[in-house]
Amino acid sequence: MRSSATTTIGTGATLAALMLLGACTTLVPLAADYPGPVARPSEVDTLESVAGDLPLAIQDESELRERARFIVHRLSVPSPSDPAQSIEFEYYDVDGDGRTPVIVLLPIFTGNPGIQRFFARYFANQGWAAIVVLRTRDPLEVLVAPEATVQRNLKDYRRVLDWIEQIPDLDASRIGVFGVSLGAMDAVMLAALDKRVDALVVAMAGGDLPYLVRNTNYRRVVRSVDQIASREGTNREGLSEKLDAEIATDPLVLAPYVDAERVLMIMTRTDAIIPFEAQQRLRASLGSPEALRLVTGHRPSVLLFPKVRSAAFEFFARRFELEHLVLASNRPEPTSR
């Protein structure tokens, strides 16, 4: 058995390493010469369409767990892309009678909701509602039918925003969207297409899917890319060129339509899954928004998630307060009698 002294030394070394990592972060401000978002062309506006006549009634609901300050419900609504399928999500319903901001957390590539729940619990403990959107489809479909898959996912996410608008306890004028990795890339595209997104925090996001297919070292993707390329009688470069020809809806393409003042990027400088170059290209396309740069790679960044969590909360709080002030200033003055 290890002595208590040895355990204390080990714990101290771990804390020291975490403090060192935390200190090696850089906050880069929004570009001083940012001119504002680019107006969306009409062909992009057509991507907004969602089957508005579909019912938004809950298909299924169950209570998952209860905490001191919130209750987590699991819900599902019909998918606008295929009413026979469901959009499933967890709703962190906070205590209180007032209307609260809400943070929508989009799924990572694997679909494991652990990361989303880590952040959702924090936001809920601060008094904000949270929505953890669950992944119910194979993310590798994007390699086979890229454009259809991307658009279907975005329509599903927009349907979640529709649901938020009909809940009296939720303030639809203060919706934040949070994404990590693939979820972050989806978040950028969602914000570009839906003006209801008031604030956006994206962690480890890149643009240009064909570029990422060629350059990622994520084993599951690399293995699938090689298998699909072999089946189609080509190689990774050939499959990348095919994707480039088929994909119109990409974070790098839609990023200029997002207001950079509403964006915080979390960037990982030594990332081999979403290369830092891809992250830099996306930031440039967004208009160089505020960014927190970490010294870690993709997976090791989890060590700094407590810092990311605090930075995300502070950014959302700033944006929500600005939105509150704007709404207040636009209200008509009371008439005197």
In a domain, 49, yes or no: no
193 pLDDT tier (thresholds 50, 70, 90): very high
Cβ atoms of 77 and 163 closer than 8 Å = yes
Residue in the structure block whose two tokens are 């992009």:
44
- 11: burial class by Cβ within 10 Å (0-12, 13-18, 19+)? exposed
Q: How far apart are CA 42 and CA 107, in angstroms?
A: 29
Q: What is the CATH number of the domain that holds 274?
A: 3.40.50.1820
Q: Look over the chain and give the mean of its residue pLDDT values, rounded to a whole number.
A: 86
In a domain, 239, yes or no: no
Write down the pLDDT at residue 82.
81
* Residue in 250, 157, 153 with CA at minimum distance from that of residue 206: 250
Strand runs labelled E in the chain: 26-28, 60-66, 70-78, 86-94, 100-105, 129-133, 170-180, 197-203, 263-268, 290-294
User: DSSP 3-state assignment of 84?
Assistant: coil
Write down the pLDDT at residue 57.
61
Mean pLDDT of 7-22: 50
Question: How big, in percent rounded to 5, are the helix, strand and coil portions of the chain?
Answer: 45, 20, 35
pLDDT per residue over 28-45, tens digit each?
999 999 999 999 887 776
Q: How far apart are CA 157 and CA 56, in angstroms?
A: 13
Beta bridge mates, 102: 129, 175
In a domain, 3, yes or no: no
* Residue 51 pLDDT > 60: no
Q: How far apart are CA 148 and CA 246, in angstroms?
A: 10
In a domain, 26, yes or no: no
In a domain, 232, yes or no: no
Q: Which phi and psi (to 5°) does residue 213 adopt?
A: -60, -40
State which residues form the domain around 179: 55-208+255-325
pLDDT per residue over 276-325, tens digit each?
999 999 999 999 999 999 999 999 999 999 999 999 999 999 999 976 66
pTM of the model as a whole:
0.87
* Tally of structural domains, the chain: 1
In a domain, 74, yes or no: yes
Mean pLDDT of 107-114: 92
Write down the pLDDT at residue 324.
64
Q: How far apart are CA 93 and CA 121, in angstroms?
A: 11
23 pLDDT tier (thresholds 50, 70, 90): low
Cβ atoms of 315 and 266 closer than 8 Å = no
Cα-based distances in Å from 231 to 98, 156, 180, 226, 235: 56, 30, 31, 9, 10
Mean pLDDT of 161-174: 94
Write down the pLDDT at residue 281.
97
In a domain, 198, yes or no: yes
pLDDT per residue over 224-279, tens digit each?
888 888 888 888 888 888 888 988 899 999 999 999 999 999 999 999 999 999 99
Q: Which residue has the higher pLDDT, 118 or 21?
A: 118
In a domain, 16, yes or no: no
